[in-house]
Chain A
Amino acid sequence: MPLSRDEVRHVAMLARLGLEPGDEDFYAEQLSGILEHIDRLQQVDTEEIPPTAQVVEIASRLREDEPRPGLTQEEALANAPAKVDGFFRVPAIQEEA
């Protein structure tokens, strides 16, 4: 099923990917092409088949509740594009319009 421009815009918003001129058509066309191939999955009868999220059986291993040294504030912020007084700085979060 081909993707509409509306769907492209919606998905781009969910993925927080900005759209530049031409992007909507580009994605609509490209994703539709890939999905056309992917749609062959619908031919497979999976009525009785359980899904596989992890293919290798590995027993769940839990961590003991022992503290392990972390990073200093300086190390934590070392790669940050913007920081203020020990905090990461980000642009405004629009809570209320």
Chain B
Amino acid sequence: MEVHVQPKTRTKMFCGCAVAPLNAPPNTYVCEICLGLPGTLPVANKAAVEACLKTALALNCEIPRHTKFDRKNYMYPDLPKGYQISQYDLPMSVSGHVEVATRKVRIRRVHLEEDTGKLVHAGDKLHKAWESYVDLNRAGVPLMEIVSEPDLRSADEARDYATELRTLLRAIGASEAEMEKGQMRVEPNISIRRAASDELGVKTELKNINSFRALHRAILFEVERQTQVLESGGRVVQETRGWSEAEQRTFSQRSKEFAEDYRYFPEPDLPPLEVERTWIDELRRNLPELPSVRRARLLDHLPAAQVAVIGADRELADLYENAVARGAPALPTANWIVNEVAPTGKLSPPENLAELMKLLHDGAITRDSAREVYVESVETGRTPAEIVAEHGYAQVSDESELRVLAEAVIDANPKAAADYRNGKKQAMQALMADLRKRAPHANPKVANELLLKLLA
């Protein structure tokens, strides 16, 4: 799989242009350098190199002493200089690996290059009056290309690998890796092999994949397509195929009537990059804990389902661990994060979550109230205790008050009460539901005990 990731930088790879926001007007984030005007020269962005080194370290890659940039020559209107500055035989890093579920995926290389511009096609098919429009805002935006060895065996594994990369890149702060924003582009190479054979068939490369879901579907489709081609006695053609989201199928993109020859050669405008060992050591020292390590630690005291959610996102995992460190109970806090935080993205400071979890755990408030308190706390920044005190969310556990309530519930639900007395234990659920409706702040445990007592 080839994955292109846009490192988190303020400026482009080889010039000082700010990285354009999505949907900026065309050709407004450009300068003479990224427009490829004559006489201009590239100077490599330190932050992009750093992001690439961090990624390499996180992927357990070797970082060679000598690395350099090369020119990949081909003329295309989205490529202003007529060549892309990339890395050929001495990439920034090589020979890494990453654990994805039970499989170890080997990383062949991670290198740096620059993005191309964008083309918009328009025209009139009938009159063959086609033309294209070129926007160079994206030209020169840095990209890390992560190339894995052919170790992935299924659409599931490919999706898990891509997800793991995203988690990792976010955890180390190398990239936002938002597929929808084009910050991460995955290009799976797919070939099938006969059962009991080690030999891989002819591969096709898939492009235009814009989500993890599309990745999964595109691979499933392509595997099926290749299988049918072979089973009907045909031959798989080596080619680039695009994924059509609208049609949910792949289609042939580039007929290779004229084989390009990229004529790579060392970029004479950039001196070879000798990455100082002290820099790498420093990056290694400051590298945040990797998601795989953290997941292993979380698994010591949490079930796998919760770890799958919390361990996939650095912010969630940080929130969990910091709240627990402040005395929040582990499993309820994990459940809270899985059910209340992950779906909404509303992150509270860990001390507030810890306080809330204690209030809930001690029975001071109900779960329903806790939800309201949490949202309000995130929105206003006030502590849960303050909010509970002000709104009177405090849970009522006083038996004399609750006894009146319980009696009212039994009076209002004679049938359910009778059913319960006649041995239908599940009738209790209806009674409790009514009780909670009438008094959201009632301590459900105490109320339940009272109901049982009154109906006995």
Q: Could you list which residues of chain A lie within 8 angstroms of chain B, going by C-beta atoms?
A: 13-14, 16, 53-54, 58-73, 76-77, 84-93, 95-97
* B136 contacts across to A, CB distance below 8 A: 76, 88
* B236 contacts across to A, CB distance below 8 A: none
A70 vs chain B, min Cβ distance (A): 4
List the 8 closest pairs (A to B, CB-CB), nearest first: A68-B16, A92-B130, A87-B133, A70-B31, A65-B47, A62-B46, A53-B266, A88-B134
* A13 contacts across to B, CB distance below 8 A: 258
Known: A73-B27, A86-B28, A96-B253. 7 other contacts (CB 8 A): A54-B266, A63-B43, A65-B46, A68-B15, A69-B16, A90-B133, A93-B132
Q: Which of B109-128 contact A (CB under 8 A)?
A: 119-121, 123, 128
Which of B195-203, B269-277, B447-455 lies on the face that meets chain A? B269-277
Option from B32, B120, B132, B255 in Cβ contact (under 8 Å) with A92: B132
CB <8 Å contact, A65 and B45 = yes
CB <8 Å contact, B273 and A90 = no
Q: Which of B131-148 contact A (CB under 8 A)?
A: 131-136
Q: A14-B263, A87-B133 are in contact. Are A68 and B17 (CB under 8 A)?
A: yes
* B258 contacts across to A, CB distance below 8 A: 13
In this complex, the member of A14, A69, A72 whose beta carbon has the largest number of chain B beta carbons within 10 angstroms is A14
Option from A16, A63, A86, A89 in Cβ contact (under 8 Å) with B44: A63
Chain A interface helix/strand/loop/mixed: loop
* A97 contacts across to B, CB distance below 8 A: 255, 257
Bound Cα distance from A68 to B187, whole angstroms: 33
* B266 contacts across to A, CB distance below 8 A: 53-54
A14 vs chain B, min Cβ distance (A): 6
CB <8 Å contact, B27 and A67 = no
CB <8 Å contact, B17 and A72 = no
Q: A62-B44, A87-B135, A92-B131 are in contact. Are A76 and B30 (CB under 8 A)?
A: yes
Instruction: Please name the residue on chain B nearest to A96 by beta carbon.
Output: B255
* A62 contacts across to B, CB distance below 8 A: 43-46, 49
Q: List 30 A-B contacts (CB under 8 A).
A: A13-B258, A14-B263, A53-B68, A53-B265, A53-B268, A53-B272, A60-B44, A62-B44, A62-B45, A63-B46, A65-B10, A66-B10, A66-B16, A70-B29, A70-B34, A71-B30, A71-B32, A73-B28, A76-B27, A84-B133, A87-B120, A87-B134, A89-B131, A89-B132, A89-B133, A89-B134, A92-B130, A92-B132, A93-B132, A95-B121
Bound Cα distance from A25 to B68, whole angstroms: 39
Bound Cα distance from A59 to B76, whole angstroms: 32
Q: Which of B240-292 contact A (CB under 8 A)?
A: 252-255, 257-258, 261, 263, 265-266, 268, 270-274
B23 vs chain A, min Cβ distance (A): 13
* A53 contacts across to B, CB distance below 8 A: 68, 265-266, 268, 272
A53 vs chain B, min Cβ distance (A): 4
* A59 contacts across to B, CB distance below 8 A: 271, 274
* A71 contacts across to B, CB distance below 8 A: 30-32, 35
Instruction: Please name the residue on chain A nearest to B25 by beta carbon.
Output: A86
CB <8 Å contact, B46 and A87 = no
Bound Cα distance from A53 to B273, whole angstroms: 13
* A93 contacts across to B, CB distance below 8 A: 76-77, 119, 121, 130, 132
Q: Does B183 contact A (CB under 8 A)?
A: no
* A65 contacts across to B, CB distance below 8 A: 9-11, 45-48
Bound Cα distance from A7 to B398, whole angstroms: 96
Q: Which of B1-51 contact A (CB under 8 A)?
A: 9-11, 15-18, 25-32, 34-35, 43-49
CB <8 Å contact, A77 and B16 = no
Q: A53-B266, A87-B26, A87-B133 are in contact. Are A60 and B120 (CB under 8 A)?
A: no
Bound Cα distance from A16 to B120, whole angstroms: 22
CB <8 Å contact, A60 and B131 = no
Q: A58-B271, A95-B253 are in contact. Are A64 and B46 (CB under 8 A)?
A: yes
* A16 contacts across to B, CB distance below 8 A: 75
CB <8 Å contact, A60 and B271 = yes
Q: A71-B32, A73-B25 are in contact. Are A61 and B17 (CB under 8 A)?
A: no
Instruction: Please name the residue on chain B nearest to A56 by beta carbon.
Output: B271
Bound Cα distance from A53 to B255, whole angstroms: 35
Bound Cα distance from A83 to B429, whole angstroms: 71
